[in-house]
């Protein structure tokens, strides 16, 4: 892994350890790197009223916007288990707001990155800010 990707992986892994997931017991961490070079991270935060829970990607995007950053270059999501922890449909759309179709989404497990996708692969023909201009 490059130094930049390693930093993203470490940030996401640290966020995953802070996840609040008492119901699913599936802890997720996400970290994104912006055009300014900053890294912002988030974890999933579940709720006793299940649908109110928030995904890790949503938390990372909130941290980014709060910091005044907007342009996502790449994202890394980490989850345990044998399956790829790809962003859910709603989070693909959330990421779309701040990333181009070539924005990379790295999907990792505890051992490292398992696969990398371009956002356009995971959310083709998407609706974004340009549709409203
Ligand atoms: N989850 C995320 O935070 N991000 C993903 O990319 C996939 C799923 C969370 C939502 C819920 O708290 C738990 O994982 C199980 O679905």
The DSSP secondary structure of 70-84, one letter per residue, reads --EEEEEEEE-SSS-
Q: Which residue has the tokens 């790829």?
A: 84
57 labelled catalytic: yes
Q: Which residue has the tokens 């759309």?
A: 93
pLDDT at 117 over 90: yes
Classify burial at 128, counting beta carbons within 10 Å of its beta carbon; exposed 0-12, middle 13-18, buried 19 or more.
Answer: middle
pLDDT at 18 (0 to 100): 98
pLDDT at 1 (0 to 100): 82
∠ CA 50-56-62, rounded to 5°: 105
Average pLDDT over residues 98-111: 98
Ordered alpha helix ranges (H), the chain: 3-17, 56-66, 89-96, 119-122
> Among residues 57, 74, 83, 97, which one is catalytic?
57
Query: What is the spatial distance between Cα 86 and Cα 97, in angstroms, rounded to a whole number?
Result: 17
Q: Work out the number of other CB atoms within 10 angstroms of the CB of residue 20.
A: 13
Nearest atom in ligand 1 to 55's CA: 3
Average pLDDT over residues 22-49: 98
Structural domains of the chain, ranges and CATH numbers in brackets: 3-124 (3.40.140.10)
pTM attached to this predicted model: 0.97
Pairing of strands 39-43, 28-34: antiparallel
Q: Which of 21, 26, 49, 78 to mutate to test the pocket of ligand 1 (most atoms within 8 A of CB)?
A: 26
Token pair, residue 49, equals 């009223």
């Amino acid at each position: 892994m490059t130094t930049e990707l390693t930093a993203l992986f470490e940030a996401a892994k640290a966020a995953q350890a802070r996840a609040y997931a008492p119901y699913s017991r599936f802890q997720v961490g996400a970290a994104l790197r912006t055009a300014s070079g900053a890294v912002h991270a988030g974890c999933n935060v579940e709720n006793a009223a299940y649908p109110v829970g928030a995904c890790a990607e949503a938390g990372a995007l909130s941290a980014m916007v709060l910091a005044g950053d907007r342009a996502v270059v790449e994202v890394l999501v980490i989850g345990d288990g044998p399956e790829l922890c790809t962003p859910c449909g709603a989070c693909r759309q959330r990421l779309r707001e701040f990333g181009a179709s070539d924005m990379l989404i790295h999907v990792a497990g505890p051992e490292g990155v398992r696969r990398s996708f371009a956002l356009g692969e995971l959310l083709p023909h998407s609706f974004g800010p340009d549709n409203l201009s």
